[in-house]
Amino acid sequence: MAVMETDFDAIVVGAGAVGLACGRALALRGLTIAVLEAEDAIGQGVSSRNSEVAHGGLYYPTGSLRARFCVAGRRMLYPFLDAHGVTYDKCGKLVVATDEAELPRLEAILRQARINDVEGMRWLSAAEVHALEPDLRAVAGLLSPESGIFDSHGYMVALRGEIEGRGGAVVTGTPVLGATPLGAASLDGGGFTVRTGGRDPATVTTRLLVTAPGLAAQDVAAGIEGFPADLIPQAHYGKGSYFALNGRAPFKRLVYPPPIPGALGVHYRRDLGGQARFGPDLEYVEAPDYRVDPNRADGFYRDIRRFWPGLPDGALVPDYVGVRPKIHWTGGGAARLPPGRGVGPRPAGPGGPVRHRKPGPDLLHGHRRGRGGPAGRLKKGRPPRGSRRRAGLQTVNALRARLPLNPTPTSASRAAMPLAMPKLKKALNTSPNWCDRAVTTKALRN
């Protein structure tokens, strides 16, 4: 079967940590890539409202994707940060039991961490915990030496740089309004027509479509014509508030309690600037809400003083809020589910089954979204498909003028576009971040 000609090999929806990582991986394979972001900068959603923790992989069920990806991804993350000069602190993490009743939960976490092949895990007595962090109260603890914190924004900027260095584009201010399969009405192959909005709406085609739009994952999936509604999980929003400490950071390491249903519990971290922060808690909300409720401080004081009795009164200051996309819920406890909302079938009820089915091979879902610096846009006025054979270098120049360019061609971008670069370099004296494959082919024939 003949391969249909498309503008891009792959389009990624969402320029957060997941979307940019997908774009980088595809660009490394030599594919022509565009990462489309609805916001005016990368990393504006979940990727910029979190704890910036590189997790060891302690908790996740045996053989689950989360267990596999967390451990493997963390092992890849630190070398990537080193190679790109992104700041991090492999400070280690303590998971502490503050009374005897929590010891069985700590033992279960240690067993699971070893099953998941997490390196260096140690059981600590109360005296050993106290030796590491004198102000910490615990009857026992676990040490995860591979856990740490890192500059998530610097990480996303590095991912973007690799995408653009290999001839791809990261285009902000460009929400995806919908997509339609090309050719036969099937998601199993053949590509997609993608409609974008913003100040300069456009329509482009792609062979592969990857969706990673964070909190908008369900809406984007619902906008793909022919995508089965029963494969789109119910959307729930887990709001997490953070409070900062007005005072000196009390601990060097991350400090976590045993996890709570649906979250890891209110924990402590000292960020890369030395500021002590606590959170997030978990509150299910009807819609994303980024306001910190000062009244939640009472619960923070209670939870924090379980492991740090020395927390002074009045020392906590409202900081920021992150909203986590949730496709399941446990019911009961501190995490309360609001009435059903979003696209797709509702779970059976508290503790009921949640469906996890794999979508078609050309469509993947992720849950992160983006923040960052300036970027270009997909501009209107693309030549219709029928006119592309007459485009030549004049149209190539017009297309490349619509998006930001690398100042000089790089070996990586030449490798990513082996056919296009020889004549384009001579004609344009720069490597385009993005170019139309059909137009480039015609230009090479001229």
**Number of alpha helices (DSSP H) and beta strands (DSSP E) in the chain:** 11, 19
> Which residue, 326, 348, 367, sits at the end of a domain?
326
- If asked whether residues 433 and 289 sit together in one domain, one would say no
**Which amino acid makes up residue 181?**
P
What's the domain count of the chain?
2
Same domain, 270 and 145: yes
Strand partners, 143: 94, 122
Specify if 27 maps to a domain.
Answer: no
Q: How far apart are CA 278 and CA 304, in angstroms?
A: 8
Whether 330 has a pLDDT exceeding 60, the answer reads: no
Neighbours of 24 (CB within 10 A): 22
Residue 435 within any structural domain of the chain: yes
* Rounded average pLDDT over 41-46: 95
With a cut of 50, say whether residue 3 has pLDDT above it.
yes
pLDDT for 334 beyond 80: no
User: Beta strands 33-36 and 8-13: pairing type?
Assistant: parallel
280 found inside a domain:
yes
| Structural domain ending residue among the three candidates 326, 348, 376 | 326
Instruction: Look at residue 191 in the predicted model and tell me its pLDDT.
Output: 93
Q: Which residues contact 320 (CB under 8 A, 6 or more apart)?
A: 49, 241, 242, 290, 292
Query: Left, alpha or beta for 299 (phi > 0: left; psi -120 to 50: alpha)?
Result: alpha
User: Where in the sequence is the domain holding 408, given as residue range(s)?
Assistant: 388-445
Residue 425: CB atoms within 10 A of its CB come to 16
The answer to whether residues 259 and 121 belong to one domain is yes
CATH of residue 136: 3.30.9.10
pLDDT tens digits, 404-422:
332 222 333 333 333 322 3
Prediction pTM value: 0.75
Domain shared by 292 and 396, yes or no: no
Return the minimum-mean-pLDDT range out of 39-48, 66-75, 244-253, 435-444: 435-444
Q: Alpha carbon 83 to chain centroid distance?
A: 20
User: pLDDT at residue 401 above 70?
Assistant: no
